[in-house]
A and B are shown apart, each in its own frame.
Chain A
């Protein structure tokens, strides 16, 4: 079981990810606001962060940068509805293990999470 932080500005998206990954036995913490997610990471261990790139105030890349400072060993999967080469390159440089394009298939999500956690 892994501790997974999910951050997306669309509430339905975080609920879905929570549902899918809970069934896989993971401990899921969902957020739609960036500052809440960062605050949570300050006092709780996180194994994996699933971050949407487009958020309300910050970008997922900026959140990833801050989370990495708090928890360097934390793994991350970036999600985006509008993939660009620049955002993908930056995410990888900041330590994101996967870069997935929405709408991601349920099975694909399960596999990617398993794969990243296994690394």
Chain B
């Protein structure tokens, strides 16, 4: 080895030590990459350095760090020729001189504009797998020596190890933080059954934890099975109302249960609305399914405002969080459904109670143990008790129409025979005038198993109706009596008239005092009969009186003759 070679090796060693020292001092992969691209050009005497990392999701290289080249150059679609890329993927370095002349790919114009003339492309390996590429660029035409390539390769390996180590370190750090955050968010979402609070907690907390721009939750509507925006944070109304995303291919994958990470959202074909994404300043998206057990109930989308390759730990955290959230959401939905059902039941109960209370009937519901489980307002008002005094009491203890002999109790009968029955009941009060009549209908409610669940008793006070019937009957009797009396009077009056007149004619012809007295006696009695028939024609009422034994006679009441 000549002195020049020795000097060169010594320089390499120094550079190697310097790079190793630098990259060992930081634990953030981004810092590692930034440091490498910043320091390497000077150490390697090149104009620019770039690091790109392999995005396994899209099988493409995404920019990790760069120094010495413009953003326009970095934004070109093709990194290098297919030949170079194939070599890199095989883990082999390439070095090319005069790339501005021999360039055969579609990013030629970018290369010439940037003035890049030589490029060394090195695979960044970790455990024999390509995890990225390191490129060293010069603006002068330079042929890289084998030694330079070999040295750069060993540097790239070091970079690969450093990036992976720092990634692992960061992953571990993140995982510890994620666990803590997961516990905190889980505690929050499980401490409430309010769906809105749960959703808002997730969309507010996740951006803080993962350093995101915003977050959205879309839930599948159970009826339509369409995704509907349920909660969002960090995003403008204009963006949120950009239109339906149901046709985005990324969503199909998410709805099948797989998370989807999109590095370059404004250009990635798996999402739509690229202009809106650009305007909103969104760079990367992570979409994960929201699951409740094995069922997918929605999609959680995490959006960043800086390009970001989501780590496995971040993705796992998001997936776990979405699952945790999914369970809480489903619990809240179930609670909401139960609350809704409960309210509906309450409304129905109130509706039924209102109907029952509006009835003029007294209504009681009795269970198979003959305890009263429900009564309506009319019953309570009639018996003068409060509901709490009645409910749970034995039927026979609270009803005014109770039968002393419970064997005859109609509730027992309805329970035993499982048949409806109707009873006409008479209840004598303390006062004669307080007598009441009741019409009682008892209906057993028979379950599908054939058992009587309840007996409903509807009691109608028919006293007024009964009194009316009695009055009507009295009136009909009176009408019969009046007609009968009138007819009898009419039939009697003509012969009576003949008898009275004849007697009076005879009297005119008599001379004997004794005979006149006799005929006057006859006339007097005929007139008594005449008074009676006259009274019969003016009957307004009658009074039944006992005659002999079971026989009754009537005493006629007449209006006074005018």
User: Interface residues, chain A, CB within 8 Å of chain B?
Assistant: 8-10, 12-13, 15-17, 19-20, 23, 52, 54, 79-83, 101-107, 109
Instruction: Please state if A52 and B494 are interface contacts (CB–CB under 8 Å).
Output: yes
Chain A's closest residue to B503 (CB) is A106
With beta carbons under 8 angstroms apart, the residue of B491, B497, B505, B508 that contacts A103 is B497
Q: Which residues of the partner chain A approach B505 to less than 8 Å between Cβ atoms?
A: 16, 19-20, 23, 106
| 12 more CB-based (< 8 A) A-B contacts, given A20-B505, A103-B499, A103-B526 | A8-B494, A12-B494, A13-B497, A16-B497, A17-B501, A23-B508, A54-B490, A81-B493, A81-B533, A82-B487, A102-B493, A103-B501
Please give me the 8 A-B residue pairs with the lowest Cβ-Cβ distance, nearest first.
Answer: A81-B493, A12-B498, A103-B497, A106-B504, A82-B490, A102-B493, A81-B490, A10-B494
- How many B residues face the partner with a CB closer than 8 A? 25
Using A81-B490, A81-B491, A83-B537 as known contacts, say yes or no to A102 and B497 having CB atoms under 8 A apart: yes
| Chain B nearest Cβ from A87, distance in angstroms | 11
Report 20 cross-chain contacts, Cβ distance below 8 Å, ordered by A residue: A12-B494, A12-B495, A13-B497, A16-B501, A17-B501, A19-B501, A54-B490, A81-B494, A82-B487, A82-B489, A82-B490, A82-B537, A101-B493, A102-B496, A102-B497, A103-B493, A103-B501, A106-B500, A106-B504, A106-B505
Residue of B nearest to A19 (CB): B505
Report A-chain residues with C-beta under 8 Å of the C-beta of B504.
105-107
- Given A103-B530, A105-B504, A106-B504, the answer on whether A81 and B492 have CB atoms closer than 8 Å is yes
Asked if B490 and A103 make an inter-chain contact with CB atoms under 8 angstroms apart, the answer reads: no
CA distance A101 to B486 in the complex (A): 13
> Which residues of chain B are near A13, meaning CB under 8 Å?
494-495, 497-498
Which of B460-506 touch A at CB < 8 Å?
486-487, 489-502, 504-505
Q: Which of B486, B499, B500, B501 contacts A82 (CB 8 A)?
A: B486
B534 within 8 A of A: yes
Measured in the bound complex, the distance between the Cα atoms of B526 and A105 in whole Å is: 11
Shortest distance between the CB of B167 and any CB in chain A (Å): 121
A23, A102, A107: which contacts B494 (Cβ < 8 A)? Answer: A102
CA distance A16 to B95 in the complex (A): 165
Give the secondary structure class of B's interface. helix
| Contact A82 to B494, CB < 8 A, known contacts A20-B505, A103-B530, A106-B504 | no
Q: For residue B538, which residue of chain A has the nearest CB?
A: A83
Rounded to whole angstroms, the CA-CA distance of A55 and B312 in the bound complex is 123
Decide: B496 and A103 in contact? CB cutoff 8 A. Answer: yes
Q: Give the docked Cα–Cα distance between A104 and B533 (Å).
A: 12
> A23 — which chain B residues lie within 8 A by C-beta?
505, 508
- In angstroms, Cα B494 to Cα A118, docked, is 27
For A10, the chain B residues whose CB sits under 8 A away are 494-495, 498
Q: How far apart are the CA atoms of A20 and B503 in the complex, in Å?
A: 11
Distance between Cα atoms of A13 and B500 in the complex (Å)? 10
Q: Which residues of A contact B493 (CB under 8 A)?
A: 81-82, 101-103
Instruction: For B500, list chain A residues within 8 Å (CB).
Output: 103, 105-106
A17 to B508, CA, bound (A): 15
Chain A residues positioned under 8 Å from B494 (CB to CB): 8-10, 12-13, 52, 81, 102
Q: Which residue of A lies closest to B494 (CB)?
A: A10
Name the B residues within 8 Å of A19 (CB-CB): 501-502, 505
The residue among B496, B498, B530, B533 with the most chain A CB atoms within 10 A of its own CB is B498
What residues of B have a CB within 8 angstroms of the CB of A102 in the complex?
493-494, 496-497
Which residue on chain B has the smallest CB distance to residue A52? B494
Look across to chain A and name the residue whose beta carbon is closest to the beta carbon of B492: A81
- Give bound CA distance, A72 to B499, whole Å: 33
The CA-CA distance from A105 to B531 in the complex, in Å, is 12
Chain B residues with Cβ below 8 Å from A8 are 494
Q: Which residue of B lies closest to A10 (CB)?
A: B494
Residues of B within 8 A of A101 (CB): 493, 534, 537
Most buried by A among B487, B491, B493, B500: B493
- Quick one: which of B487, B497, B508 contacts A104, CB cutoff 8 A? B497
- Chain B residues in 8 Å Cβ range of A52: 494
Q: Are B501 and A106 in touch, CB under 8 angstroms?
A: yes
Find chain A residues with CB under 8 A from B492 CB: 81
Q: How far apart are B173's CB and chain A's nearest CB, in angstroms?
A: 117
